[in-house]
Chains A and B, each alone.
Chain A
């Protein structure tokens, strides 16, 4: 580790929004050649701090130093020019441009007299990609890349900007385990070259595998900065939550009611001949690598995607196609992508919760606004949604609270079967535990839950029974009580029993 002046420091940063503190004296120190984890629950102030560091927000008070010198970044471009680059959760590539163009976008684009110098562009892009051991066809459109390739292109772009401070916000959220390994390799390469990497993630296992130091934030303050080697995962969780972590996963239930939903020979684009049953009161976890068809399976059941064959029975009756019909039969989906599939970001909590409940809260086409307000109020109270009022826009809520809004709107329909795709993606530890408890409570009330997860510990912790998919088919099924990572992984890679 290089000694000397830190690459980037934040001192006593204070930031208020409408009088409420988002940051109250946050501190951070990022050294050259380290991977530094920034941890905290949603709403702890991590995102705000990053936005202050990259010039998106202006701090109310406090100081930022770059190589020991006080700096003020008025906008992202100034931060980039100073070598501070952030890669966000939402992949920041332009789908309609080629890989090479994405890497050298904007001021880095080699040109002469207004014309792009294509040969030079390709040469430089190739060189940068080679530096992180990537071989991605330069002429491919970024939109056709896999998520991990897109992340790599975003990385390459950061390198093109000569970034010496790289901020990664949940870079692994949409990646599979092998892809994550690949990403880690690149991160380590960059670290060894002296780049300082600030790594924001909710996945603590990753942090312990990858990072050198960690900083924990809570309520807009920096709680501690320490070496990862001297830390323990439970300790970090209690620092984040501000109390003892306790049990993350609630006890399993007996899970032995009647079969509520059964799937026969279901066919989709990837899914091939899947048979499945789930009982009332049971939590069925579905795992598998990305592209194994696990999400598609849920979407096929929910009617969000057209079936090519097979049938789905609920309470013995065949489901008619279409989301509306499936919902009416008591099967509700909490989709994978919260912001593009789960909530209307620009609408209020009330309006979001109203959408799937319009028919039940109306007469002759007229909406009973009191009934809707009551549904929303009950949902917010039941799920402990933190918001100023039901009229607050969902876009202003944290990820965890947005997820609760999705749950609230679907639970108001009292589904017999709840389908959840990545129920805790991008959600802080505290809210995660809340959602696991909720899933268990719903099960104990007789709901059948099918939950897809890419995180094996989560799959084991929350489920009664686990089904693993591989290339569109079920490759294994285990009782969650007897499951371990190794066994599940072997199914993920297609080794049958």
Chain B
């Protein structure tokens, strides 16, 4: 009973077999093949549009913010928790920065305050979960609720706009034909990947997520590890939220609500990519790509946005089912 990690030999055979073997193919070769199949499918449906430079750029642009927030979620899920407040945190950070900009505060200052707000929410989550031992679900559900409330207070329930052009340029400008948020997303992902893989902090996160008691008895300060993970997630979510405000040129309390669910979905999808089944940044990016390609492709095919939402949920179920089948196989 082989572990279904190897993806090459069987997949090429079964593609030609077609039909029934698609399920087995997905099972054996994992989520990456699902992504490729999606791309092939949409390309086959609309070869004139889907893989053009403009559209690929669109996809990257659309997923850049989600990629950042999913990166934040990955860090927390590596320690074995999850964070429901990433979307709310990003909205509040964007709203605070936006409100300060409208009030005439210089751009760097407004951004720094927005980042600090995000960091503080992360710190609060970390304190509640690591030191006061609340469950991550309860703690982040509560902070999410309050943070959305705060965002409504900051925006006074409206949508803030009329930001300085230099600020909006961060989200809308391009360098070498590619929108700036794409670069930000890439830089943040690479940094997070390096941190997770090559720093003592990252390795301690993985150890804690693997087994907190074993880690504690091996001298890892488990509480601090979890605390830092949530703090980082708050900060990174804020980066995503501020960029989103710049991209849209506006800020509201409900901005990027989808990002929370989609970020969890992306990490779950990513967990199915590796054999060990733990959260990992490369996998998360595959998950982000699946969500982005789905959404873009369905748009091109003219599928209604609500249907898209339904399909996204189904994809998550499919992915998690696949990964549980994988583990059962072992």
Query: Do they bind each other?
Result: yes
Residue of B at shortest CB range from A358?
B200
B284 to chain A minimum Cβ distance, whole angstroms, is 18
Q: Is B219 an interface residue (CB 8 A)?
A: yes
- Contacts of A333-348 to chain B: CB distance below 8 A: 333, 335, 340-347
Q: Is A367 an interface residue (CB 8 A)?
A: yes
Is the Cβ of A365 less than 8 Å from the Cβ of B207?
no
Answer whether A340 and B199 are a contact pair too, CB < 8 Å, given A18-B2, A393-B276: no
Interface string of B201-222 (1 = CB under 8 A from A): 1011011001101111111110
Is the Cβ of A355 less than 8 Å from the Cβ of B207?
yes
Answer whether A346 and B210 are a contact pair too, CB < 8 Å, given A324-B219, A341-B217: yes
Select which of A335, A347, A366 is within 8 A of B198 by beta carbon: A366
Is the Cβ of B214 less than 8 Å from the Cβ of A340?
yes
Is the Cβ of B217 less than 8 Å from the Cβ of A304?
yes
Q: Is A24 an interface residue (CB 8 A)?
A: no
Q: Choose among B203, B213, B219 the residue with the greatest number of A CB atoms under 10 Å from its CB.
A: B219
Q: Is B147 an interface residue (CB 8 A)?
A: no
Q: Is A356 an interface residue (CB 8 A)?
A: yes
Q: How many residues of A contact B (CB 8 A)?
A: 34
Q: Is B1 an interface residue (CB 8 A)?
A: yes
Residue of A at shortest CB range from B221?
A324
- Contacts of A17-44 to chain B: CB distance below 8 A: 17-18
* Distance, CA A187 to CA B211, complexed state (A): 36
A332 to chain B minimum Cβ distance, whole angstroms, is 9
* Distance, CA A326 to CA B219, complexed state (A): 8
Select which of A18, A327, A335, A365 is within 8 A of B219 by beta carbon: A327
Answer whether A346 and B1 are a contact pair too, CB < 8 Å, given A333-B217, A341-B217: no
Q: Is B173 an interface residue (CB 8 A)?
A: no
Q: Is A59 an interface residue (CB 8 A)?
A: no
Q: Which residues of B contact A327 (CB under 8 A)?
A: 218-219
Is the Cβ of A351 less than 8 Å from the Cβ of B206?
yes
* Distance, CA A340 to CA B217, complexed state (A): 10
Is the Cβ of A304 less than 8 Å from the Cβ of B216?
yes
Select which of A302, A341, A366, A367 is within 8 A of B214 by beta carbon: A341
Q: Is B278 an interface residue (CB 8 A)?
A: yes
Q: Is B282 an interface residue (CB 8 A)?
A: no
A422 to chain B minimum Cβ distance, whole angstroms, is 14
Select which of B1, B199, B213, B276 is within 8 A of A367 by beta carbon: B199
Q: Is B277 an interface residue (CB 8 A)?
A: yes
- Contacts of A307-337 to chain B: CB distance below 8 A: 322-324, 326-328, 333, 335
Is the Cβ of A323 less than 8 Å from the Cβ of B200?
no
* Distance, CA A359 to CA B203, complexed state (A): 11
Q: Which residues of A contact B221 (CB under 8 A)?
A: 322, 324
Select which of A328, A335, A344, A410 is within 8 A of B210 by beta carbon: A344
Is the Cβ of A340 less than 8 Å from the Cβ of B211?
yes
* Distance, CA A365 to CA B196, complexed state (A): 11
* Distance, CA A70 to CA B91, complexed state (A): 66
Q: Is A126 an interface residue (CB 8 A)?
A: no
Interface string of B185-200 (1 = CB under 8 A from A): 0000000000000111
Q: Is A238 an interface residue (CB 8 A)?
A: no
Is the Cβ of A366 less than 8 Å from the Cβ of B217?
no
Is the Cβ of A355 less than 8 Å from the Cβ of B214?
yes
Is the Cβ of B210 less than 8 Å from the Cβ of A347?
yes
Is the Cβ of A358 less than 8 Å from the Cβ of B217?
no
Residue of A at shortest CB range from B215?
A355
Answer whether A344 and B214 are a contact pair too, CB < 8 Å, given A354-B203, A358-B204, A366-B199: yes
Q: Which residues of A contact B211 (CB under 8 A)?
A: 340, 343-346
Q: Choose among A327, A342, A346, A369 the residue with the greatest number of B CB atoms under 10 Å from its CB.
A: A346
Q: Is A61 an interface residue (CB 8 A)?
A: no
A37 to chain B minimum Cβ distance, whole angstroms, is 29
A400 to chain B minimum Cβ distance, whole angstroms, is 18
Q: Which residues of A contact B199 (CB under 8 A)?
A: 362, 365-367
Is the Cβ of B1 less than 8 Å from the Cβ of A18?
yes
Q: Which residues of A contact B206 (CB under 8 A)?
A: 347, 351
Q: Choose among A304, A323, A343, A355 the residue with the greatest number of B CB atoms under 10 Å from its CB.
A: A355
Q: Is A409 an interface residue (CB 8 A)?
A: yes
Given contacts A340-B213, A346-B277, A362-B200, could you give 13 more A-B pairs where the C-beta distance is less than 8 Å? A322-B221, A328-B219, A340-B211, A344-B211, A346-B210, A351-B203, A351-B207, A355-B207, A355-B220, A365-B199, A365-B201, A366-B198, A367-B203
* 9 sample A-B contacts, Cβ–Cβ < 8 Å, listed by A number: A322-B221, A341-B214, A343-B211, A347-B207, A354-B207, A355-B220, A358-B204, A359-B200, A367-B200
Q: Which 3 pairs across A and B sit closest by C-beta, in order of nearness?
A: A344-B210, A356-B218, A327-B219
